[in-house]
Amino acid sequence: MSFNIALSGISVAQTDLDTTANNVANVGTVGFKESRAEFESVYASSLFTNNATKVGDGASVSSVAQQFHQGSLKFTQNPLDLAITGSGFFATAGGLEESDLSYTRAGAFKLDNQNYIVDNDGNYLQAFPVNADGTSSSVSLSTTGAIAIPETAGTPVQTSEINMTLNLPSGEEELDPANFDPDDPETYTGSTSVTIYDSLGGSHIASTYYIKPENATYSGTSNWVSFVEVDGVPVDPTDGTTSIAGTYGVDDDGDGAVDAVQKTASYTDADGNTHNGVVLSFNSIGGYSGSSPATLTYESLGIDGANVLDASADGDQSFTINYDDPTQFDSSFEVTSLEQDGLTVGRLTGVEIADDGLVQASYSNGTSEALARVAIVRFRNEQGLTQSGSTWTASQTSGDPIAGEADSGSFGSINSAALEQSNVNLTTELVDLITAQRNFQANSRALEINNTLQQTILQIR
């Protein structure tokens, strides 16, 4: 009997050594959770056994239990490296159509050749679908799917509005709008430009020029003339802008009164074509005299057969310029805001993952798109999970997986550009290794003594 007891002691000591050695071997494994060998005494008895004198039958391994306490974080430069602080696991699937999920704390993810987020084994990281504003539309595991990062952002949006705020200097030299030449800076007071887009996402330069007209009579308002070009082609205001386009009063004879003949805000180009501008009027305190914003509508970019747009683009594209509270102060020409509402096709420039798991892609056209929300899964009994390599699968002992959003309720938060390191304490493991070795030696000694006693008995004559 003592021979078998010593053998059981050697067996459990060997398991303890193996468990500790495995912990030490995985001290550098991302997301690894240390294991602990747990033992129990073997005690067999029957109705005919005297329990008062029963010694016991040795020891056995009751469980090799993993310890799921938090590992320290190691920060990286890769936004797809993810670490969970707190409770929960990442969910992964072996294929795009597979519903069998495995769970992991190892967040070393990357993009595959199809731009899906995968782990080192090619398993697809699972996420909840989201609405356009980034809110989750479902937090059920049955609705999760792989995360695909699009390389381009949507379809182009042609420019329909340009919004601008500027100051026109009241003390500038007066010029004759009829002599306007966009290639001669001496013929205008100031100019600015902005990139606009056609229906195909092609870019074009819209330029606006401003002239303080000479001999313009002040009768409660001061006037400025503005001309517009797109890619060097003049663009005239439409009929809907006649209320602020056309003519302005002048004082040609110098008597301080508005002459009977009004002057037209127009010029003639080198080809003999006449192009109209618009008139902006300001009051005595430098504010715009009309309603703000001043909305100026310009005709389609395909006018006069000019080669402004690509042949396959929308030739009827027109746009408006909204002057939001323009001013005429005694200061320099200044544009304080300038933006337009068109978009070209965006190319992927970066991926960001928030603490709540929201995955957003950024594109070169300045837009960002909410793609999905990384799913977090927890279990009532983590130690009941079945381990398979660096991942775990659910079992009856662990309970059913409970899915939810990161950083909410009892679910941990997600750290992007970080990895959870192994939770193995190397110092503790080395001490345990020595202890397991001593236990193995002690049981080996007991086995040796038992062997000696049996040989002594066999040699009795």
Confidence of residue 304 (pLDDT cuts 50, 70, 90): very low
Antiparallel, parallel or unpaired: β 294-298 and 319-323: antiparallel
Please give the residue that has the higher pLDDT: either 166 or 457. 166
- Give backbone dihedrals phi and psi of 289, rounded to 5 degrees, phi first: -80, -20
Residue 311: pLDDT above 90?
A: no
pLDDT at position 448 over 90: no
The average pLDDT across 313-324 equals: 87
3-state SS class at 56:
coil
**What's residue 48's pLDDT?**
63
Structure tokens at 134: 């980034």
Residue 310: partners with Cβ closer than 8 Å, 6 or more residues away = 198, 200, 202
Work out the average pLDDT over 306-327: 82
* Residues 330-381: tens digit of each pLDDT: 999 999 999 999 989 888 888 999 999 999 999 888 888 999 999 999 999 9
The answer to whether the CB of 162 falls within 8 A of the CB of 340 is yes
Q: Per-residue pLDDT for 305 more than 50?
A: no
Mean pLDDT of 185-214: 92
Does pLDDT of 149 surpass 60? yes
Strand 124-128 with 319-323, pairing: unpaired
The average confidence (pLDDT) of the chain is 86
Structure tokens at 90: 């990442």
Q: What is the dihedral of CA 181, 187, 191, 194, to 10 degrees?
A: 0
Residue 453 has pLDDT above 90, yes or no: no
Res. 302: pLDDT tops 80: no
Burial degree of 179 (CB within 10 A; 0-12, 13-18, 19+): middle
Closest CA to 357 of 70, 87, 134: 134
Q: Are 390 and 103 in contact (CB under 8 A)?
A: no
Amino acid at position 120, single letter? N
Sorted by where each begins, the domain ranges of the chain are 2-69+424-458, 73-150+353-420, 161-340
Q: Is the dihedral of CA 442, 448, 452, 457 positive or negative?
A: positive
pLDDT category, 191, cuts 50, 70, 90?
Answer: very high
pLDDT at 175 over 50: yes
Percentage of residues of the chain with pLDDT beyond 90: 50
* Confidence label for 437 from pLDDT (cuts 50, 70 and 90): confident
Instruction: Give mean pLDDT, residues 410-421.
Output: 95
Q: How far apart are CA 358 and CA 94, in angstroms?
A: 22
Between CA 80 and CA 352 the distance in angstroms is 8
Contact (CB, 8 A) for 116 and 402? no
pLDDT of residue 1: 60
Predicted confidence at residue 328, as pLDDT, reads: 93
Torsion of CA 186, 187, 192, 193, to 10 degrees: -110
Q: Which residues contact 320 (CB under 8 A, 6 or more apart)?
A: 160, 161, 162, 295, 296, 297, 298
Cβ atoms 422, 26 nearer than 8 A: yes
- CATH assignment, 161-340: 2.60.98.20
Answer with the residue of higher pLDDT: 251 or 201: 201
